[in-house]
Amino acid sequence: MRSVEVIVVGGGPAGSAAAQRLKAAGAEVLVLDKESFPRHKLCAGWITPAVVSDLRLDIGAYPHSFLSFRRLHWHMKGLHLPVPSIQHSIRRFEFDAWLLQRSGAEAVHHTVKNIRRDGQEYVIDESFRCRYLIGAAGTSCPVRRSLFDGTLRRIRALQTVTLELEFPHDWQDGDCHLWFFQSGLPGYSWYVPKARGWLNVGVGAMAARLRQHESIWQHWRHLASQLERQFRIRMPANPTGYSYYVRGGVGQARVDNAFLTGDAAGLATRDLCEGIGPAIRSGQRAADSILTGAAYTLDGVTGASLGGGLLSRWLDWQFTHGASPGH
């Protein structure tokens, strides 16, 4: 049995951010992930200036694909609004592996199945033992399942469904485009160019608000025709899907010395379903709590990408119909 001070389950942005902060402070930390990195992760890979700053990311020194857009093009009900805004894109395949390596933590390829308490410690699959445990394994996180099931409910009105595809493409338009509510979609679709000739396109919707007999695949086909009309893009393959939760009802993301972060806690923003920023910040907060003994709060982890003003609140309402607001 391997015994360490802190185990982080999941080496995505939440897990790497926590591991990096712990490691930098001299803590003994081990990351367990069911994949070996670099691994594929479904995600448009849009990151905000806040993410760059939270990670203290030196853009010039980042060794992989990194693109900055000058404008976000909003398309809604036939209107087109180009909004000047510096935002960025990365490829998750590269970014996550780089973040995990940069954390300096040892990463072990292991699929976590069972977790049990043993006095003040946690025992994982009878193979690992730790004093502190960070759950950072996304929507189906085993830490959540084993230790938080009774305290945190999944709320269907906050569940997203997505389909996306990332492929090599010699794009001409280097800005990001978002189409809201097209053909009755309870969500939005996107065109996110990446550096070095990659493109990510996809569609995301609130699962509970898709009309009866309507599927996310119909909206994928609408997007495919839109992209063919507007950019002469032909989809080279079928997309793949994933589901995660936007923020709401995260009353208790810590039980004893176990913490939930990122998608494991359901922290994506309610207006644009942005999950990378909240994952990183919550990972850092969990690490701070272990290091300083301070309470683990999600107060500084934003639930709104657009600042929480009128537009944020309107999009939130359109997506969630006010389901379980707050923390």
Ligand X SMILES: Cc1cc2nc3c(=O)[nH]c(=O)nc-3n(C[C@H](O)[C@H](O)[C@H](O)COP(=O)(O)OP(=O)(O)OC[C@H]3O[C@@H](n4cnc5c(N)ncnc54)[C@H](O)[C@@H]3O)c2cc1C
**Which of 293, 7, 3 lies closest to 141 in space, CA to CA?**
7
The yes or no reply on residue 14 touching ligand X (CB under 6 A) is yes
CB atoms within 10 A of CB 300: 10
Euclidean distance between CA atoms 165 and 242, whole angstroms: 12
Closest to ligand X by CB, 14 or 258: 14
The yes or no reply on residue 276 touching ligand X (CB under 6 A) is yes
Closest to ligand X by CB, 119 or 236: 236
The yes or no reply on residue 35 touching ligand X (CB under 6 A) is yes
The yes or no reply on residue 159 touching ligand X (CB under 6 A) is no
The yes or no reply on residue 41 touching ligand X (CB under 6 A) is yes
Q: Please, which of residues 280-299 interact with ligand X by CB under 6 A?
A: none
To ligand X, the closest distance from the beta carbon of 118 in angstroms equals 19
The yes or no reply on residue 9 touching ligand X (CB under 6 A) is yes
Euclidean distance between CA atoms 322 and 292, whole angstroms: 35
To ligand X, the closest distance from the beta carbon of 119 in angstroms equals 23
The yes or no reply on residue 18 touching ligand X (CB under 6 A) is no
To ligand X, the closest distance from the beta carbon of 36 in angstroms equals 9
The yes or no reply on residue 136 touching ligand X (CB under 6 A) is yes
Omega before 38 cis (within 30°)? yes
DSSP string covering 161-217: EEEEEEEE---S--SEEEEESGGG-SEEEEEEEETTTEEEEEEEEEGGGSPTT--HH
x-marked contacts with ligand X along 238-267 as a string, rule CB under 6 A: ----x-x-----------------xxx---
Euclidean distance between CA atoms 125 and 19, whole angstroms: 21
Closest to ligand X by CB, 92 or 233: 92
The yes or no reply on residue 275 touching ligand X (CB under 6 A) is yes
The yes or no reply on residue 187 touching ligand X (CB under 6 A) is no
Residues that bind ligand X (CB under 6 A): 9-15, 32-35, 41-46, 111-112, 136-138, 140, 142, 162, 164, 202, 242, 244, 262-264, 268, 274-277, 279
